[in-house]
């Protein structure tokens, strides 16, 4: 696994704009029975997309995929994949094989979580705001592709602060 070397901070405004762009791509594919958001990252984009597509039935599939140590560290580049754990997905009877459902996540990275959710709902339409090359083949629709060595900082994970310009960081 490649350790992230680049960072890509995303503001609330940018996430909203990009999630709305995703909704524009999805409107021609629907209508959908409902949305299944992959928690936690898929919750905010799912809310925006649900509003834009006028979808009222929203559910979640709750999976954790990073080790507890990584979650406690919270620093880019140290995240190691842990065991995938399904924390909540008992509504699968309602989803069936996924026909007519829309799965939303913020990002597909290595594809481990996407592959797991695909097994739960193989016929659902899977959409993410961001996609990295390793996971890209597992999603049907996305808006922005970033390199595999980029760590995306979502607005719920960051606070504004000063950082050195890229050129100064690169010289160190």
Residues with catalytic roles: 105-106, 109
Residue 109 near residue 134 (C-beta atoms within 8 A)? yes
Burial class (CB in 10 A: 0-12, 13-18, 19+), 118: middle
Give the span between the Cα atoms of 152 and 130, in whole angstroms: 9
**Cα–Cα–Cα angle for 94, 100, 106, rounded to 5 degrees:** 90
Query: From the CA atom positions of the chain, what is the Rg in Å?
Result: 16
Token pair for residue 71?
């979650």
- What is the secondary structure of 118-130 as a DSSP string? HHHSTTSEEEEEE
């Amino acid at each position: 696994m490649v350790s992230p070397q680049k960072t890509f901070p995303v503001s609330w405004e940018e996430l909203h704009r990009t999630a709305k762009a995703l909704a524009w791509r999805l409107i021609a594919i629907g209508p959908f029975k409902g949305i299944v958001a992959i928690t936690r990252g898929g919750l905010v984009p799912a809310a925006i997309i649900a509003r834009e597509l006028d979808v009222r039935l929203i559910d979640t599939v709750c999976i954790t995929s990073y080790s507890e140590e990584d979650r406690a560290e919270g620093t880019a580049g140290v995240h190691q994949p842990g065991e995938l754990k399904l924390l909540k997905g008992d509504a699968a009877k309602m989803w069936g094989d996924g026909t007519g459902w829309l799965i939303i996540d913020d990002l597909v990275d290595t594809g481990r979580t996407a592959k797991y959710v695909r097994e739960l709902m193989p016929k659902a339409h899977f959409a993410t705001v961001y996609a990295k090359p390793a996971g890209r083949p597992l999603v049907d629709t996305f808006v922005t592709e970033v390199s595999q060595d980029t760590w995306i900082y979502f607005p719920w994970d960051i606070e504004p602060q000063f950082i050195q310009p890229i050129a100064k960081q690169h010289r160190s």
